[in-house]
Structure 1
Amino acid sequence: MHQSAKKLRARELGLAFEGEAGPSNAITDVPGVLVGYSTIIEGVGALRQGHGPVRTGVTAILPRGRDKAMKPVWAGFHALNGNGEVTGVQWIKHAGHFYGPICITNTHSVGAVHEAVTSWMIEHHAEDYRAKHVWALPVVGETYDGTLNDINGLHVRPHHARAAIESAASGRIAEGNVGGGTGMVAYEFKGGTGTASQVVRLDGQDFTVGVLVQANHGLRDWFTVLGAPVGRHLTADRLRSTEQGSIIVVIATDIPMLPHQLERVAQRGAIGIGRHGTPGGNNSGDMFLAFSTANQITRDEFIDARRQMECIPDEWFDPIYLATVRAVDEAIVNAMLAAEDMETLKPAGKVCRAIDPAALVGVLARYGRMA
């Protein structure tokens, strides 16, 4: 699914985000990484549990594309506030890797998506699963979309997740009301799916840090962009007085790293969301997964022989940390700028407004934050 031409992204509006973005300014700038969506928008009118309206979906990230060889993906995880779920992270914490896609959906659909990812892995790596003792520990994250979606109706089914995986592609990807981000709210504006990337030069070579967020967190009073207190100026159409959401941040890179280094990169995602003013509220699941596509070896090589892992020195990481913070910061704004208005179900009768780009530019211009 390609980005709609009618919505300008943060840099296209002239917002002064720093750093060099990749060609698509997306997580898919990391070579080999694909992203797909399944978006479910059905029904109108008042909420009838089990019948809709439905405003939800699934986002799929394929770290190694559709490679038929079963290869570990090196990873690290960090939770700023743990009021949420990302499956598979216990093994990531202990072993430093995972296999298969990463999927993100709504809170009550983790089980259906988990089943779908498992079945996809069994089919995609059929020889491994048929002939060997191989088991799946899928990585599935969630945020709560019950303000805008009939979340208790359990409308996401395994075939929706399979569709997201099968549709995954490279290049510029859609943002806003798509995939798992369809029914999400950020800083009481319409939130959703956002992405950004940064180029990092290390030892004379260009690498990429790419980010995808499912933004569903924050209160209006907190909302800050490039140091300007935007939420204090754009006060109309507020929805709540306490935080009721979460954010999932996926950080991808082609820089060769060890798992402990990737965990440290994941921790910097918390600084990225902090730039917008969130303290990581009690009701928020603020979770960060970082992975590297470098050091590709097959599962058989991984378990049957000694191996050599290339990695960069810890002393080189400052520009990587900065790139991560910048990309997370920008991806959240991109998610909000791409979003479309959506009627609320709980409470009924309101509208969750997308942020007005002109109003945002006006505030940032007042504070000298335009490029």
Structure 2
Amino acid sequence: MPLPITQTRARDLGLRFHGTTGPANAITDVPGVEIGQTTLVHGDGALQVGAGPVRTGVTIVLPRGRSGVLQPVKAGVYALNGNGEMTGTHWIEEAGIFRGPIGLTNTHSVGAVHHALVRWLSRVDGDRGAYPWLMPVVAETCDAVLNDMDGLHIEESHVFEAIAAAAPGAVAEGNVGGGTGMVCYGFKGGTGTASRIVRVAGQDYRVGVLVQANMGIRPWLNVLGVPVGELMPGSRDQRSELPVREQGSIIVLIATDAPLQSSQLKRLARRAALGVGRTGTPGGDGSGDIMLAFTTHSDQSPDDRGVCRTEHLAQHTLDPLFLGVVEAVEESILNALVAARTMVGRDNTRVEALDHSMLIGLMRRYGRLTENR
């Protein structure tokens, strides 16, 4: 069952962000996009591979909701550092499209989620178009610090449960879905989202972002220009069980309703790396930092000759979209950190949540809070 949407978000602490958000400040502010998540938390104590402790899950994104699941969306991908996996990217690079849900999970469960999505899609009524095959997009980050990742606990039923829960509106963040067991900058990380409304060529468009944040080490954390990772008590003597070098990853999904070419969506995906960089990571050797951008704007169907009619924004008008992506990615990561709660996982490893009161104090000292805080 989906968790109630009760988490604290970065803006709730008074953090001063730029830009105008959509009503949910989430990727679901892009019309048609739906999110569903399954969270698995059970077992305590010493690791027993196959038995637990389990701290993992699945996040499913439906770019066009259930009703349009077989309708392709144009897309572009970019990898800042490729020590990770996102299936289907070769076809996105080649043809600039994909169809079906996007799945986010842990590193060792990519195959299970892919298998489940193929089974689910194969039962969907509708026209597959020119191609009989199904090639879902599934991406991962590693939750082995807290989770029995070798135990392969994600099953087909968990994917189906996340699809069934998919809905528009508010999105649960932090220790949920694929982000359940993730660690970000030495603090508890996980799932985060944000959005921006931008005006391009006299019209408002929406840009929404969803991240699975699992990257960085504590001294790197930067919040709105403040070196929080260095200033937080205990940052220079992290617990020994936490990595002292980059061994995490981040997956960034960007949705928009703007009319864009696939090559332009790849340009948006590249800008996501700037939003990630604002929070401090240089994209270490051990990190899989992979970004996918797609548009829900639909081209006309091919005519009898197989000719499509399309429209797209001029290249020189894209700057507001670029800025919207950078801002929304940065805020999504901070939302994941703020929403996450302290978690104890395998072998009693404890990963602390980012302390809200300490963060507020640092932000106030550096003038990064809204005036009413």
Pick the TM interval, shorter chain: over 0.9
Matches within 5 A, 1:350-365: 350-365=349-364
Candidates 159, 162, 182, aligned match of 1:161: 159
Distance in 2 between residues matched to 1:344 and 1:154, nearest whole Å: 16
Partner of 1:252: 255
User: How far off is 1:303 after superposition?
Assistant: 9.8
Report the counterpart of residue 268 of structure 1 in structure 2.
271
Structure 2: how far apart are the matches of 1:262 and 1:143?
Answer: 23
Q: Greater CA deviation, 329-338 or 197-206?
A: 197-206
Q: How does 1:267-306 map to 2 (within 5 A)?
A: 267-296=270-299, 301=302, 305-306=306-307
Determine the C-alpha separation between the residues in 2 that align with 1:119 and 1:106: 20
For 2:13, the aligned partner's letter is L
- 2:305, 2:168 → 1: CA distance? 33
1:281 partner letter: G
1:333-371 alpha-carbon deviations (Å, 9 max, x no partner): 1001111111142xx343100101111111111111112
- Secondary structure in structure 2 of the residue aligned to 1:279: coil
TM-score w.r.t. length of structure 2: 0.94
* Alpha-carbon distance in 1 for matches of 2:69, 2:173: 30
What is aligned with 2:196?
198
User: How much has 1:235 moved relative to structure 2?
Assistant: 3.9
Q: Name the amino acid aligned to 1:203.
A: A
| Contact 1:222–1:278 (8 Å) recurs in 2 | yes
Per the TM alignment, residue 296 of structure 1 is displaced from its structure 2 partner at its CA by 4.6
How many residues align? The count is 364
Deviations 1:212-250 (A, max 9, x none): 000000011110010000001114254221111100000
- Give distance in 1, aligned partners of 2:303 and 2:213: 35
Letter aligned with residue 188 of structure 1: G
Question: Is 1:60 matched up with 2:60?
Answer: yes
SS in 1 for 2:359: helix
Q: Distance in 1 between matches of 2:201 and 2:130?
A: 41
Whole-Å Cα distance in 1 between the matches of residues 59 and 315 of structure 2?
A: 32
CA positional deviation for 1:202? 1.7
Native 8 Å contact 2:5 2:170 kept in 1: no
Change in CA separation of 1:326 and 1:68 when aligned onto 2, cut-off 3 Å = closer
Distance 1:353 1:302 in 2: 57
Identity value in percent: 53
Distance 1:9 1:114 in 2: 31
Normalised by the size of structure 1, how large is the TM-score? 0.95
Secondary structure of 2:273's aligned partner: helix
Aligned equivalents of 1:338, 1:304: Cα separation in 2: 52
Equivalent-residue separation in structure 1 for 2:277 and 2:16 (angstroms): 18
Distance 2:248 2:300 in 1: 38
Matches of 2:305 and 2:181 in 1, distance apart?
A: 45
Tell me the distance in 2 between the aligned counterparts of 1:269 and 1:132.
32
Cα pair 1:3 1:173 within 8 Å, conserved: no
Mean CA deviation greater in 141-150 or 301-310: 301-310
Q: Separation in 2 of the partners of 1:245 and 1:339?
A: 17
Separation in 1 of the partners of 2:60 and 2:84? 18
Asked if residue 26 in structure 1 is aligned to residue 26 in structure 2, the reply is yes
Give the structure 1 partner of residue 178 of structure 2: 180
Output the CA distance in 1 between the equivalents of 2:267 and 2:331. 20
1:339 is aligned to 340
RMSD between superposed Cα atoms in Å: 1.7
Counterpart in the other structure of 1:14: 14
Establish whether residue 313 from structure 1 lines up as the match of residue 314 from structure 2.
yes
Report the Cα offset of residue 297 of structure 1. Answer: 5.0
The 1:296/1:174 distance shift into structure 2, 3 A limit, reads farther
Residues 154-182 of structure 1: per-residue CA shift (max 9 Å, x gap): 00011211211121000011000110000
Q: Partners of 1:83 and 1:69 in 2: how far apart?
A: 29
What one-letter code is carried by the residue in structure 2 that aligns with 1:357? H
The answer for the alignment partner of 2:103 in structure 1 is: 103
Change (3 A) 1:304 1:279: farther
| Aligned position for 1:329 | 330
The amino acid that maps onto 2:82 is G
Counterpart AA for 2:248: G
Provide the C-alpha distance between the structure 2 equivalents of 1:293 and 1:208, rounded to a whole number of angstroms.
Answer: 10
SS in structure 1 of the partner of residue 324 of structure 2: helix
Q: CA deviation at 1:38?
A: 0.9
Match of 2:10, SS? coil
Aligned-pair CA distance for 1:203: 2.5
Gaps spanning 5+ residues in structure 2: where?
A: none
